[in-house]
C-alpha cells in the first residue's frame, strides 16, 4: 500500500538504526519525548525502543487524550450520564475510563442511556431524532478532534437544536510542551512532535518554543521508518547544537497545517487553562467554548452539584505522563492493574503507555531495556 508498506520496510529501518548508532556519542545522553501515545504504541509494538542505543532514552509524553482527561471531567460525565433525561454520547475508549465511582459502562449497566458514536455529528443526528431528550457529547481530545467537535456545535446551531451540548475537555500540545520544559525536574532535550496534530495545526506554533528553550522539535509520523527518522533527526540536531523545528513527516504535514480547520476551531473555541490528569492545571493548554457558544456547554446546562474526585492512591499515571517513571515501575502494573481491570486511564486507552507495555510485552520480559 502506497505510503504505508514502504514505511514499514525492515531493511530501511535497520539502515537508519545503523545511522543512529554511528551518530550517538559516548559522552552524552539523548533524552527525547515522543509527544503522542500513538507514537509510544508504535515504538513499543515495533520493538524500536529496544533497538536504540543505550544512550537514547525515550520519554513517553502526555499526548493521549483519554489519559490526560481530568478525573473531575470523567466524574462530571458520569453524573450527567446518570440523568434520566440525557442521552450521553462518547467515543468508545472513554467508556472504560475509571472515574471515582465506576465508569460509563457501569452507568449504562445501571440503566443510563450511554451510546458510542464515531463522530460528534452522529451525536447531533441523535439530538435531531430525539427532540424530547438532552443529548450530550463528551468532546475530548487534542487539536486533532477539535475541528469535528467545533463543527458539531456549528451544525447544531444551524439546525436550531436546543437539546445538544458538549462536555469539553480539549488539550493543546504547545502549552503542555512549555509545562514539561519549565518543570524543575525536566530531563527532555528534544521532542518528537505528533504528526497528526501537526496535520491540523501545522508547526508554526513550535518555533518560539524551540528557540526559547533550545530544544529540537521534530515533526514525526507513526510508522517504524517515521519514528527512526524522527529520532535520527533529533540526535543530529543535538549533536550539532541546533534547536530547530524540523519536519520529518512532510508527506502529511505542512508548516501552516489546515487553515480551514484552524478557522473552525477558533470560531467555536478559545484558549484557556486546563487541568491535566495527574499533572494539574497548565495555563493556555486547553480549549473552551467561546462565550457566544456557551449555551452548548453541558457543564453549564446540567447542575450536577459539587463533584468530589479522588484519584487512585496506587496509580502513578501522572508521573508516567510527565516522563518521570515508566509503566513497569508502577507496583500495580500487570498485577492489580490490567486492561481488564484498569486502575488508571493509561491502562485503558489505545494510546496509553501502560496499555502499550502490557500489550506488547514479550512473555517473561523484564522491561529493563525499554528506554
| Collapsed DSSP state (helix, strand, coil) of residue 360 | helix
Q: In what order do the strands lie in the sheet with 190-194?
A: 56-63, 30-36, 190-194, 217-220, 245-247
User: CB 37 → ligand SF4: shortest distance, Å?
Assistant: 12
63 binds ligand SF4 (CB under 6 A): no
- Minimal distance in Å, beta carbon 134 to ligand SF4? 32
**Interface with ligand SF4, residue 327, by CB under 6 A:** yes
# chain residues binding ligand SF4, by CB under 6 A? 16
The answer for residues whose C-beta is within 8 angstroms of residue 362's C-beta and 6 or more apart is: none
333 binds ligand SF4 (CB under 6 A): yes
Cα separation, 15 vs 232, in Å, equals 11
CB 261, CB 274: distance < 8 Å: no
Of residues 116 and 314, the one with the C-beta less far from ligand SF4: 314
Is 37 a binding residue for ligand SF4 by CB under 6 A? The answer is no
Pull the grid cell for residue 296. Answer: 452548548
- Which residue, 139 or 347, has its beta carbon nearer to ligand SF4? 347
Q: Return the residues of window 150-179 that contact ligand SF4 according to CB under 6 A.
A: none
Binding to ligand SF4 by residue 90, rule CB under 6 A? Answer: no
Residue of 132, 164, 163, 162 whose CA lies nearest to 151: 164
Integer CA distances (angstroms), 3 to 6, 250, 314, in order: 6, 12, 42
Burial of 190 from C-beta contacts in 10 A (0-12 / 13-18 / 19+):
buried
Non-local (6+) Cβ contacts of 13 within 8 A are 46, 48, 224, 225, 228
Does the protein bind ligand SF4 through residue 314 (CB under 6 A)?
A: yes
Which residue number is nearest to ligand SF4 in terms of Cβ? 344
Site string for ligand SF4, 262-301 (x = CB under 6 A): ----------------------------------------
CA distance 266 to 264: 5
Residue number, 266 or 334, with CB nearest to ligand SF4: 334
Nearer to ligand SF4, 98 or 230 (CB): 98
Cα dihedral 205, 208, 213, 215 sign: positive
66 binding ligand SF4? (CB under 6 A): no
Instruction: Out of 139, 253, 316, 321, point to the residue binding ligand SF4 (CB under 6 A).
Output: 316
Nearer to ligand SF4, 5 or 366 (CB): 366
**What is the nearest approach in angstroms of ligand SF4 to the Cβ of residue 65?**
15
Per CB under 6 A, does 74 bind ligand SF4?
no
Residue 302 or 333 having the CB closest to ligand SF4: 333
Residue 172 to residue 55: CA distance in whole angstroms: 30
The x, y and z cell numbers of residue 213, run together, are: 528553550
Is the separation of the CB atoms in 110 and 166 below 8 Å? no
Q: Indicate whether 349 belongs to the interface with ligand SF4 (CB under 6 A).
A: no
Which residue from 153, 243, 347, 356 is in contact with ligand SF4, where contact means CB under 6 A?
347
Interacting residue ranges for ligand SF4, rule: CB under 6 A: 314-317, 320, 327, 330, 332-333, 337, 342-344, 346-347, 354
Amino acid at each position: 500500500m502506497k505510503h504505508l508498506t514502504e514505511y514499514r520496510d525492515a531493511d530501511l529501518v535497520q539502515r537508519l538504526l545503523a545511522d543512529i548508532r554511528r551518530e550517538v556519542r559516548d559522552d552524552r545522553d539523548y533524552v527525547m519525548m515522543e509527544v503522542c501515545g500513538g507514537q509510544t504504541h508504535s515504538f513499543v509494538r515495533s520493538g524500536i525502543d529496544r533497538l536504540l542505543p543505550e544512550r537514547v532514552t525515550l520519554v513517553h509524553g502526555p499526548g493521549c487524550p483519554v489519559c490526560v482527561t481530568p478525573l473531575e471531567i470523567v466524574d462530571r460525565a458520569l453524573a450527567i450520564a446518570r440523568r434520566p433525561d440525557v442521552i450521553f454520547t462518547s467515543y468508545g475508549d472513554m467508556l472504560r475510563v475509571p472515574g471515582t465511582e465506576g465508569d460509563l459502562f457501569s452507568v449504562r449497566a445501571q440503566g443510563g442511556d450511554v451510546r458510542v458514536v464515531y463522530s460528534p455529528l452522529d451525536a447531533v443526528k441523535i439530538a435531531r431524532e430525539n427532540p424530547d431528550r438532552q443529548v450530550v457529547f463528551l468532546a475530548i481530545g487534542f487539536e486533532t478532534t477539535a475541528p469535528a467537535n467545533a463543527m458539531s456545535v456549528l451544525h447544531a446551531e444551524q439546525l436550531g437544536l436546543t437539546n445538544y451540548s458538549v462536555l469539553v475537555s480539549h488539550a493543546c500540545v504547545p502549552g503542555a510542551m512549555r509545562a514539561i520544559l519549565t518543570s524543575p525536574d525536566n530531563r527532555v532535550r528534544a521532542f518528537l512532535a505528533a504528526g497528526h496534530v501537526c496535520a491540523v495545526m501545522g508547526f508554526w506554533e513550535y518555533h518560539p518554543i524551540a528557540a526559547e528553550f533550545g530544544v529540537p522539535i521534530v515533526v514525526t509520523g507513526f510508522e517504524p521508518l517515521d519514528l527512526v527518522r524522527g529520532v535520527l533527526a533529533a540526535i543530529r540536531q543535538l549533536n550539532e547544537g541546533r534547536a530547530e523545528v524540523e519536519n520529518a513527516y512532510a508527506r502529511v504535514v505542512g508548516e501552516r497545517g489546515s487553515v480551514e480547520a484552524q478557522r473552525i476551531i477558533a470560531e467555536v473555541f478559545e484558549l484557556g487553562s486546563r487541568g491535566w490528569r495527574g499533572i494539574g492545571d497548565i495555563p493556555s493548554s486547553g480549549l473552551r467554548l467561546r462565550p457566544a457558544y456557551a449555551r452548548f456547554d453541558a457543564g453549564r446546562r446540567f447542575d450536577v452539584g459539587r463533584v468530589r474526585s479522588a484519584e487512585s492512591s496506587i496509580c502513578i499515571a501522572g508521573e508516567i505522563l510527565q516522563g518521570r517513571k515508566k509503566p513497569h515501575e508502577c507496583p500495580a502494573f500487570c498485577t492489580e492493574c490490567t486492561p481488564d481491570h484498569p486502575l488508571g486511564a493509561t491502562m485503558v486507552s489505545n494510546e496509553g503507555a501502560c496499555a502499550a507495555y502490557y500489550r506488547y510485552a514479550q512473555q517473561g520480559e523484564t522491561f529493563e531495556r525499554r528506554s
